[in-house]
Each structure stands twice: as structure tokens, then as C-alpha cells.
Amino acid sequence: MQNIEHFRPTKAIINLDAIKNNVSNLKKHLHPGVQIMAVVKANAYGHGDVEVASAAIESGATMLAVATPEEAIRLRKSFPDIDILILGYAPGAFAPFAANENITLTVYSTDWVQQVEALSFSKPLKLHIKIDTGMGRIGVTQIEDLQKLYNMITSSEKFLVDGVFTHFATADEEEETYFHHQVAKFEEFIRSLPEKPRLVHAANTATMLIKDPTLQYDAVRFGISMYGLAPSAYVNTKLPFPIEPAFSLETELIEVKKVQAGQSIGYGAAFTASEPSYIGTIPIGYADGLIRKYSGQHVLIDGIRVPIIGRICMDQCMLLLPAAYNIGKKVTLIGKQKDEEITIDEWAEKGDTINYEVPCIITSRVPRIYYKK
């Protein structure tokens, strides 16, 4: 029997071969022994965490990075042996569970360590210390705080300092000063440690692709490039090798009607036909992540660009068709048809946002269908 989620024609197609090629190409630029941490937080940027993680591991990733305890737990079920690092906050109460499941946590607060020290552990808890060198998000900002934290962790048998890392705020921009300031601060902090932990890491995609491809330390954290997207328009103009987008979004026409000049379409009657027109309806709306701001964005039918008109509804939206297409006609929202392509970057521009956000907000109502040769 067909899986019930797949009755609706709206689906995201995830090209796992593209993910594998992107990781393999990135790997070619790494020094020997440098580990690839595949950043698969937020359901692998909306692409599907387990499947993307498998593809990345097959192509050379040796670690997984996520943002939350729940994401780590989900992945641990499918990957019993691989190192998993939670890059963000994990409540102290999660620490014994993390230790038991060999999930590595990020630490930046002595209060947190004190609270966790009081709990009982079946195994030592692996920790990566986060240094805030200029992102202003999480991490220690003073050398004395780093040393205090380090000493507190290393003096307890409950903990193991496995790594130390930072995150760059401007690696995807042309301006260099801020980036170099962060690197200098990071290195000063690392030098202040009595012993270098196993894994020092800092580079994200933009650092590796353009900013300083040699700044690899012991591991690099690849997110957006693995999915075939550039971290910014600036990086896109400087890519050292092509990357292949992995995410397409498709549906079908479910209704086609002819309207007369003057007839209006959708909530608020926001679109009015200026001449006799064919209007098509597609079953995707803001509850699928097609936010109302995307009204006016083009989609593809038969390789022709067709605009979304009127207000996007919760579950559907309407298109101004160039011809009376049949119901069931394929509509590509993201991806290629014939010689035309509509990219995630184009949607991001329409939504006044960045490409990272576009697949992330395609909701779980849209099934991810995995493609590989």
C-alpha cells in the first residue's frame, strides 16, 4: 500500500548523490587527518537528518553536529558509533543521558559544570568548550574564564575535554578585519590552555571555501555547502569548485479554471485578472512553509516561468497560467525543468531572507523523497 504521506503530490526531492559529491569535493581540500563534522542540525537544514548524515558519512564525514538534545538522540538511534556534538545549549539534566549515549556537549559556563558535577554518571561526559571570539552568542569571552572552566572540567573524573571551538560571524563577507580579529583571539585562547584538546575546530563553509581554506585545525564544520548552497552571494561569486544543490520542491496542478477580466482570486481578492486568464491551483501553502511573502515568486511548468498570484493560503496557492494546462501537470517550485531553473537563492531573495532559511521552513507536512543512483 502507498504510504499515506505520499498521496498529496507536493513533495521535496532530496538528491543524496549531490550531497555525497559536495562532501567528497570538500574533502579533497582538507589536510590529511582533518575530520569533517557534518552539520545536520534542524533536520539537516530541512533535507532530512538521518539520510543526509548517512550520505555525508559515506563520503568521508566522521562526526555529526546538531543543535539540540532531541536532534542528537534521534541520530544516535541510527548511528550508534559516530561522534555526535551538540553545538548549542543542553540543560544540565541531559548530561548523564548524554554521557551514557556518548553524545558530546558544548560547555561555556562554570555554573553549568557545577550543576552537572553534582549528578551521577555511568561514563565520563565528553565536552567541547565554546569560545566566543566575536559572535556574541554562546561561549566564554575572557581568558581567565576559559582557564577557570578548563581547570574545573579537568579536575573532575566525570568530564573529558575532547574539543575547543569557536564560530565566525563574518566568514561569508568580503570584509576581512573582523574575521582575522576572531582568529587571533581564538588562537590566543587556545595558547592559554595547558594542553590542547583532541579537536580544535572553527571553520564553517565560508571559512573553508573562501576566507581561509588553510584554517582547518583538527576538524571543519560543513553545513550549507554540503547541501549545495553558498553561504552568501559574495561566496557564490568566489566558489573554488562547483557545488550541487540537493533540494527540489514539486507538486501538481489540482485545478485549472478560466476567469474573465475583472474576476478576482484568493483571500482579500488581492489579484484581479486584467484579461481572460487561466488560473491554476497547487496544493502547497504557508502551512507547508510557502510563506505569504513568497506571493509573486515564479514556479516552473513545462520549463516556463509562471507567477504565484494573490495571497498564498494555508494549504494552497494560485498561479497565472500561460495556457489551459491539464490537471496533474507537474509544477516545480525549486529545481530544474528543461533549460530553466528556480533556485533556493531566488526564493530567499523573494522572502527577504537567506538560502539557509528556505528549506529549513518547509514543514514536515511535505514528505522528503530521497533520490540516489
Ligand X SMILES: Cc1ncc(COP(=O)(O)O)c(C=O)c1O
Q: Which residues bind ligand X (CB under 6 A)?
A: 39, 87, 167, 204-206, 221-225, 231
Catalytic residues, which ones?
A: 41, 267
Q: Judged by CB, which is closer to ligand X: 10, or 204?
A: 204
How near is the Cβ of 85 to ligand X at its closest, in Å? 9
Q: Judged by CB, which is closer to ligand X: 174, or 255?
A: 174
| Of 67, 131, 119, 60, residue with least CA distance to 94 | 119
CA 88 – CA 71 distance, rounded (Å): 11
Q: Judged by CB, which is closer to ligand X: 204, or 332?
A: 204
How near is the Cβ of 133 to ligand X at its closest, in Å? 12
How near is the Cβ of 219 to ligand X at its closest, in Å? 11
How near is the Cβ of 37 to ligand X at its closest, in Å? 8
| Sequence-distant (≥ 6) Cβ neighbours of residue 144 within 8 angstroms | none
Q: Judged by CB, which is closer to ligand X: 204, or 281?
A: 204
Question: Which residue is at the shortest CB distance from ligand X?
Answer: 223
CA 270 – CA 261 distance, rounded (Å): 14
Which runs of E-coded beta strand occur in 154-208? 159-165, 199-201
Please report, for residues 30, 110, 155, 188, 256, the alpha-carbon distance to residue 144 in angstroms, rounded to integers and kept in the order given.
Answer: 33, 12, 16, 12, 67
Q: Judged by CB, which is closer to ligand X: 87, or 291?
A: 87
> 3-state class of 196 per DSSP?
coil
Q: Any long-range contacts for 359-362 (C-beta under 8 Å, 24+ apart)?
A: 359/12, 359/45, 359/46, 359/47, 359/227, 359/247, 360/42, 360/43, 360/45, 360/46, 361/46, 361/289, 361/291, 362/12, 362/46, 362/249, 362/288, 362/289
> 3-state class of 154 per DSSP?
helix
How near is the Cβ of 76 to ligand X at its closest, in Å? 20
